[in-house]
Chains A and B, each alone.
Chain A
Amino acid sequence: MKKKINITGILLIAAFIVFLVLAGRGMEPRDLLITTLRGFSVGSVTFLVAAGFSLIFGLLDVLNLAQGTLYMIGAYIGWTVFVRPDTFIDITPLILFLMAGFALGFLWDYLADKIKLDAKKKKILGWAFVLLSVVLAVLILPRYPIAMWELDNYSQSPISFSYMADQGIRIPVSPAETKGIPAMVALYGSLLLSAVLAFGLALIRYKENRQHSLHWKKWRVFGILIILGTLIMAFNTPLTDWLMNMNTNWLFIIAAVIAVLSGIGLGALMETTMIQPLYSRPVYQLMLTLGLGTIGMQLVKAIWGMPEFVIPKPEMFRGSGAGCPATTIKDVFTNHCSTILILGGRVRVYDEIVLPIVGVVILVLVWLLLKKTRIGMIIRAGVQDSNMVEALGINVRRVFTLVFALGAGLAALGGVLSAPSYGLSVSMGEKFLLNALIALAIGGLTSYPGAALGSLMVGLIQQFMIKYGQIGIPIPFTDIVFKPTPAIIPASTMLLMVIVLLILPNGLLGRQD
C-alpha cells in the first residue's frame, strides 16, 4: 500500500520551519544555537512522556492521563536512590517480599481448587482472608524499620539532603531503628501478609475448570525474590555504605534503572488490576487514569513534601575547575566540565547535549523494537486492528500489559533524567503531561514518529518564546516590542495545537479515518 502524501501536513511543517527561520533572524548565532538546543532538550523529555502515551493510546485506546504522575514518580524514586540510598536499601526487601506472596499465584489457585466448598462460601472465605491481611498490615507494616527523611524537621528534610548532596557532602544518617520486633520478623511477617492477601484474592476470583500444576519451574520467581530480599536485609549496612561511597556517575545510572523498573512495575500493576476490567467502558478508563494521576500526585506530596529540590548532577557533568568551560569535546571527558563553549556561548553539557542525545537514542531503540522484533510486529498489528490479532491466536492482553508497562517505564525514565536539570516539584507531572498531550495532538495521537515530531515542535516553540520574553519581538511597521511574559509561553503551544487540530483533526502524521 502506498502512503498518501499529506500535503496540508507538509505545508504546516514548512510554515513552522519558515517561522523558526524568521524567528532566528533577530538573534545572535550563539543565542540561536542555545535556544535550539534547549528546545531539543525540552522536546526530548516531552518525547519520553509522549512516546509511552502514544503507544498506549494506539494499542489499548486508553488515554493514560496518569502518565504525568508516572513521570513524576520516576523522578522522585530516582532522587531517593541517588540522595538517600539507605532508605532505598531499607525498603527494597519489603517490596520484594510483598511481591513474593503474589508470585505464588499458581499455588493459591491450586489450593483454591482443592478446598471443598461451594463458590459462594469460597468468596466469603476469600473476603475473610483479605480482611485478615488488612489486620496483619496494620500490625506489621508500621513496625518495619525504615530510615527516612522528616518533612517537619528542616535539617532532616529532603531539601537539606538535596542541597548538601549538591555540595558533595552527605548528611550522616543513623540506621533505621527496630520498633518492637526484629527486622527479620517484620520482613517475614510481610511475606505472610502478602500470601494471605493473594490467597484471599485467588479465592474471590476462583473459577472452575482450570488446569493447575505445581511444576518446580513456577517456584523460581518466588525463590529469587525471597533470597534477594533476605540477602539485602542481611547485608543492609555494607550495601548502604557501598552505595553511599560510590562514584555518583554509577549511582545515577543505578537510580535511573531503579526508577525505570519501578515505573514498569507500576504500569503493569495499574494495567492488570484496574485498566483491564474497564476495557468495555472506555470513558471510565479515561476517568480512572485521571483519578489515579491525582492520587499519585497527592501521595508524592505526602511522602516527599511540597518544596522543590533537584537531583544533584553526577560527577561527570559538574566540574567547574581548571580547564572549564571546555572548548572541545575531549575536554568535557577529561575535565568533567559542566559547560562547553560553542560559538562563544556556554552550553550546559548535561541539559542541552546529553538529554537530546538520550531522547534520540530512546527514539531509535523503541523504533527498532517496533520495526524489527516480533513483539513490535504484534504491537503494530494491534494498533491497526487488535481484534484481528486476537483472532489470529495471539494473546493480545499480555501485549497490552507489556506496552502499558513499557510506556510507564519510558515516562519514569524521562522523569529521572530530567530531574537534574528541571528539578522535582509536585506540579512537574502536570506540566509535562500537558506538554506531551499537546505534542501528541500536533503529531497525531497514534503515530510514534508523530510523537517525536510534536515533542520537538513543542520544545522549540516554548524555548523560543522564553528567549523572546527576554529580547522581545519587534512587531513589523511599528515601534512596539512585544515581550511575551512567562505565563504566555504555554499558551503559544496550546494555540499551535488548536490551529493544527482545526486544520488536521488527526494531527500531522496521524492515521486518517
Chain B
Amino acid sequence: MNKNKSFLSRNKGILIFFAVMLVLPFIIGLFEGSNPVAVWNNQGTFSKHLEGIGIEIFILAIFALSYDLLFGVTGLMSFGHTMFFAVAAYTTGIALKTFGLPLWQVLLIIVGTSLVQAFLFSVVLPRVRGVTFTMVTLGMASMFHIVVMSSDMIKLTGADVGLQGVPKPAYIDPTIERLRFYAIALLILVLVYIFYKRFIDSPTGRVCVSIRENESRAKMLGYNTTAFKIVVMLIASFTASIAGVLHTLYQPIVSPTIADLGYTVTGLLIVLIGGIATQSGAIVGAFVIKLLDLALRGIMKDSAPLVTGVVYVIFVLFVPYGIVGSLKLGGLKIKQGWQMLLERFGLKKAMPKGE
C-alpha cells in the first residue's frame, strides 16, 4: 500500500526517532553543563549514564523486535527465543576472551551459530504445532540454560557467576567510546526496524501474517507454510543474535539470567506493552519497561518485579493491543469523530454510504 511513497516518507517516523535520539545526549549534556564537545569526547557523566540506559533499551528493542516477528507476526509462540540471544552473547564472550579472535571473525561465527540454531528449531517446526512447539522450544532453551549454569564448563562460561572480563576492542569499548557505541546500537536498531517493516510489507511477510491467522487456509492456498516459518525463524534468530553480541560488548558481566525463561518473558512483556505485531511497539515497549524498571527499583527496591507483574496483567486484561495498537485504534476513532463533526457543520460532504 505504501508502494508509491518514497523511502524517506515511508520511514518518516523512525528517521525522526533516529535523529532525535542521536542529538539527545548533546542536549542532555547542555542541561548538565558540559558543552557538546565534552559530550563528543565522552566526558559528561550524566549524559554518559543516559547513553548507557539508551544502549540497554536499544538492545532490548532489537531483541523484542525479533521476538515480535516470531510470535506477533507469524504466530509462533516460542518460549525459547532467548536461546538465540544467549548463545550469541556467550559465543561472543568466549571467542573474545578465551580464543582472542578479532571482532569481524566473531561476527562471522555468530552468523554461523544463528543459522545452526534456526535450523535446529526448523527441524522441530514441521513436527510440532501450537502448545507443543512452545514446550519444545522451552525445553531446548532450558537445556542451554542448564549447560551454561553447570559447573562442567565453568572455565568457559563462568557458571552461575557469569562471564566476566571479556576484552572489548578499543574502538568500540563502551567505557571509553560510549557515544560511538550508542550511535552504532541506535543505527543497528533503526536498520533492523526498517528491514522488518519492509519484510512484513513484502509478499513473504503477508504470507507469514496469513499463517498466524489461519495456517490451514494458507496451506490450502498452496503456500509451503513450513518454508515460510523457517525463513522467519532465520531472520529472528539472526536479529536476536545481533542483540546478543551487543549485549556482551556492552555489559561488564554476561549473566546466565539472559538464558533464562525470564528473559523471553521480558521480550514478551515488551511486545505486549508496546503492541503486538506493530514494529514501533517493540521500541516503545522497551523504553517503557526499562524506564519503569529503573524508576521502580529506585522507589521500592526488591518488590519492583511485583509492580511490573501487575502492570503486565493489567495490560493483558484491559489493553490487549498495547500502547501503539491502542493509539492506532484510538486514532481511527478520533479521525472518524472529526469527520462526523465536519459533516454535521456542513464543512465537508457526507461520505456516500456503502463505502
Residues of A within 8 A of B (CB): 57, 63, 274, 277-278, 281, 283-284, 286-288, 290-292, 294-295, 298-299, 301-302, 434, 437-438, 441, 445, 485, 487-488, 490-491, 494-495, 497-498, 501-502, 505-506
Contact of B313 among A291, A445, A498 (CB under 8 A): A291
Q: A277 to B320: give the CA distance in the assembly, Å.
A: 12
Q: In the complex, are the beta carbons of A445 and B132 less than 8 A apart?
A: yes
Q: In the complex, are the beta carbons of A498 and B306 less than 8 A apart?
A: no
User: Top 5 nearest A-B pairs by Cβ distance?
Assistant: A487-B150, A298-B306, A295-B309, A291-B312, A294-B309
| Closest residue on chain A to residue B308 by CB atoms | A294
Task: Check B27 for interface membership: any CB of A closer than 8 A.
Answer: no
Q: In the complex, are the beta carbons of B310 and A295 less than 8 A apart?
A: yes
Residues on the B chain within 8 Å of A438, using CB: 139
Residues on the A chain within 8 Å of B320, using CB: 281, 284
Main secondary structure of the interface of B (DSSP, over half): helix
Residues on the B chain within 8 Å of A292, using CB: 309, 313
* Minimal beta-carbon separation of B214 from chain A (angstroms): 14
Q: Which of B141-149, B200-208, B228-236 faces chain A?
A: B141-149
Q: In the complex, are the beta carbons of A497 and B306 less than 8 A apart?
A: no
Q: Which of B33-41, B123-131, B328-336 faces chain A?
A: B123-131
Q: A284 to B149: give the CA distance in the assembly, Å.
A: 31
Residues on the A chain within 8 Å of B305, using CB: 294, 298
**Chain B 91-114: CB-based contact to A (< 8 A → 1; otherwise 0):** 000000000000000000000000
Query: Would you give 7 A-B contacts (Cβ < 8 Å), ordered by A?
Result: A295-B306, A295-B309, A295-B310, A298-B303, A485-B150, A487-B149, A505-B128
Q: A286 to B135: give the CA distance in the assembly, Å.
A: 12
Q: In the complex, are the beta carbons of A445 and B306 less than 8 A apart?
A: no
* Minimal beta-carbon separation of A300 from chain B (angstroms): 10
Q: A283 to B78: give the CA distance in the assembly, Å.
A: 12
Interface residues of B in 288-326 (CB under 8 A from A): 302-303, 305-306, 309-310, 312-313, 316-317, 320
Q: In the complex, are the beta carbons of B152 and A501 less than 8 A apart?
A: no
Residues on the B chain within 8 Å of A302, using CB: 302-303, 306
Residues on the A chain within 8 Å of B268, using CB: 287, 290
Task: Check B21 for interface membership: any CB of A closer than 8 A.
Answer: no
Contact of A491 among B147, B303, B316, B317 (CB under 8 A): B147
| Contact A495-B303, Cβ < 8 Å, known A291-B309, A291-B313 | no
Q: In the complex, are the beta carbons of A505 and B132 less than 8 A apart?
A: yes
Contact of B152 among A298, A488, A490, A495 (CB under 8 A): A488
Size of B's binding interface in residues, CB under 8 A: 36
Residue pairs across A and B with CB atoms within 8 Å: the count is: 103
| Closest residue on chain A to residue B71 by CB atoms | A283
Residues on the A chain within 8 Å of B310, using CB: 295
Q: In the complex, are the beta carbons of B317 and A298 less than 8 A apart?
A: no
| Closest residue on chain A to residue B131 by CB atoms | A63
Q: In the complex, are the beta carbons of A487 and B151 less than 8 A apart?
A: yes
| Closest residue on chain B to residue A63 by CB atoms | B131
| Closest residue on chain B to residue A430 by CB atoms | B261
Q: In the complex, are the beta carbons of B272 and A437 less than 8 A apart?
A: no
* Minimal beta-carbon separation of A486 from chain B (angstroms): 8
Q: A491 to B139: give the CA distance in the assembly, Å.
A: 9
* Minimal beta-carbon separation of B252 from chain A (angstroms): 24
Q: In the complex, are the beta carbons of B127 and A494 less than 8 A apart?
A: no
Task: Check B265 for interface membership: any CB of A closer than 8 A.
Answer: yes
Q: In the complex, are the beta carbons of B127 and A502 less than 8 A apart?
A: yes
Q: A69 to B77: give the CA distance in the assembly, Å.
A: 22
| Closest residue on chain A to residue B311 by CB atoms | A291
Q: A295 to B269: give the CA distance in the assembly, Å.
A: 14
Q: In the complex, are the beta carbons of B313 and A288 less than 8 A apart?
A: yes
Task: Check B136 for interface membership: any CB of A closer than 8 A.
Answer: yes
Q: A277 to B309: give the CA distance in the assembly, Å.
A: 19
Task: Check B138 for interface membership: any CB of A closer than 8 A.
Answer: yes
| Closest residue on chain B to residue A433 by CB atoms | B261
Q: In the complex, are the beta carbons of A494 and B306 less than 8 A apart?
A: no
Q: In the complex, are the beta carbons of A491 and B146 less than 8 A apart?
A: yes
Q: A324 to B310: give the CA distance in the assembly, Å.
A: 51
Q: In the complex, are the beta carbons of A498 and B303 less than 8 A apart?
A: no
Q: In the complex, are the beta carbons of B152 and A485 less than 8 A apart?
A: yes
| Contact A283-B309, Cβ < 8 Å, known A485-B150, A501-B128 | no
Residues on the A chain within 8 Å of B313, using CB: 274, 288, 291-292, 295
